[in-house]
Amino acid sequence: MSVMQEDVIEASLDDDKVITQARRPLSRNRLVWLRLKGMPRFWVGASVLVFIVLWAFLGPLLYQWSPTQRDSYNMNLGPTMMHWFGTNAIGQDIYAQTLSGLQKSLVIGLIAGPAATIIAAVVGSTAGYLGGWVDKTIGWFVHLLLVIPAFFILVLLSPLYRGLSWVALTVFLAIFSWMIMAQVVRSQTRSLRNRDFVRAARYMGMPTGAILRRHIIPNIASLLIIDATLGVVAAIMSETSLSYFGFGVQKPEVSLGTLLADGTAAALTRPWLFVFPAMVLIALLFAISLIGDALRDAIDPTSGVNNG
């Protein structure tokens, strides 16, 4: 065989590899990522969120004032080079307090949102797969919890966690934020439990927990990812609202809700007390909402068409 023939054969083999790779179907995760890469709102939201997270946790290390430290000579002072966001009536630095409240809101949202989604996935998939009296019992319990909005339930239960740390508030937010998504997971599981691959796993003697973990939940993972992302927004808003009305984070701890509550009365006379925490909260919710919206359209491209 001549050298020219060998080159032709190698070239044809390389072409076959390229064609094979081109024809190979993209995985679902790869396809979702390719869609996300082409969405400017995803990159805007992700960039803003990364900046906010780094700012919340690294900013205090580069600032001279702590949230509890007082400057007796500069009380009720507007923004200056010494106090970037100004000070309150007792000389506490608003910039330091805003970062402290932002840290708490981020931690509460990033824990309570995904935790509520996990509870919804477990409860909803179990009810939808087992059916019968289990489904009826869980369905009745979920409908009972949905009778009263979660916000009012948390207000009624506030005496139980108000004296505790903000960790208790995070737990209560997760416990009372999963019901609607559980209903969605329940209905989706009902449609999946009679599929051939689920029946095959059941006939092979696979335990119920393994079926839910390997076959049911992975097929509704897209819904869970979207719910977990938007659940972070809901948890932050719930914490802020509860703290604003005095049912959430309690002093001397600081949250964005307590800062907004303290600054509301002086919003016109001393606007820095209200404006800066409000702007930080809006930027945080806006960034996470952009990411959640992009994830929804990347996982389900028809959602953008339907909404439009």
Q: What is the pLDDT of residues 178-204, one digit of tens each?
A: 999 999 999 999 988 888 888 888 888
Residue 222 lies in a domain: yes
Q: Does the structure show a pLDDT above 90 at 284?
A: yes
Residue 33 in any domain: the answer is no
Residue 132 and residue 225 in one domain: yes
Contact 259, 277 (CB under 8 A): yes
231 inside domain: yes
Residue 11 has pLDDT above 50, yes or no: no
User: What local confidence, expressed as pLDDT, does residue 104 receive?
Assistant: 92
What total number of domains does the chain contain?
Answer: 2
- Is pLDDT above 80 for 8? no
State whether residue 134 is helix, strand or coil: helix
Does residue 199 share a domain with residue 282?
A: yes
CA 207 to chain CA centroid, nearest Å: 31
For residue 86, pLDDT beyond 60 = yes
233 and 115 in one domain?
Answer: yes
Extract the tokens encoding 231. Answer: 């659940």
d(CA 201, CA 24): 27
CATH number of 264's domain: 1.10.3720.10
* Domain co-membership, 1 together with 137: no
Average pLDDT over residues 135-158: 86
Judge whether 164 lies within some domain.
yes
Asked if residue 161 and residue 19 are part of one domain, the reply reads: no
For residues 149 and 54, the model is more confident at: 54
pLDDT of 232 higher than 90: yes
Q: Is residue 224 part of a domain?
A: yes
Calculate Rg over the CA atoms of the chain: 26
- What pLDDT sits at residue 197? 87
Res. 100: pLDDT tops 80:
yes
Average pLDDT, the chain: 85
Domain holding 22, by residue range, is 1-27
**283: amino acid identity, one letter:** A
Same domain, 23 and 43: no
Please, what is the Cα angle at 283 between 280 and 284, to 5 degrees? 85
**d(Cα 175, Cα 116) in Å, to the nearest integer?**
6
CA 144 to chain centre: 25
pLDDT for the residue 162: 73
pLDDT at 24: 57
Same domain, 106 and 134: yes
What gap in Å lies between CA 33 and CA 28, rounded to an integer? 9
Q: 291 — phi, psi (to 5°)? A: -65, -45
Distance CA 163, CA 161 (A): 5
Higher model confidence: residue 51 or residue 7? 51
Share of the chain above pLDDT 70, in %: 88
Question: Does any domain span residue 259?
Answer: yes
Q: Is the domain of 2 the same as that of 115?
A: no
Predicted TM-score (pTM) of the model is: 0.82
pLDDT tens per residue across span 34-84: 888 888 999 999 999 999 999 999 999 999 999 989 988 889 889 999 999
Looking at the structure, tell me whether residues 254 and 204 fall in a common domain: yes
Would the pLDDT of 253 be above 90?
A: no
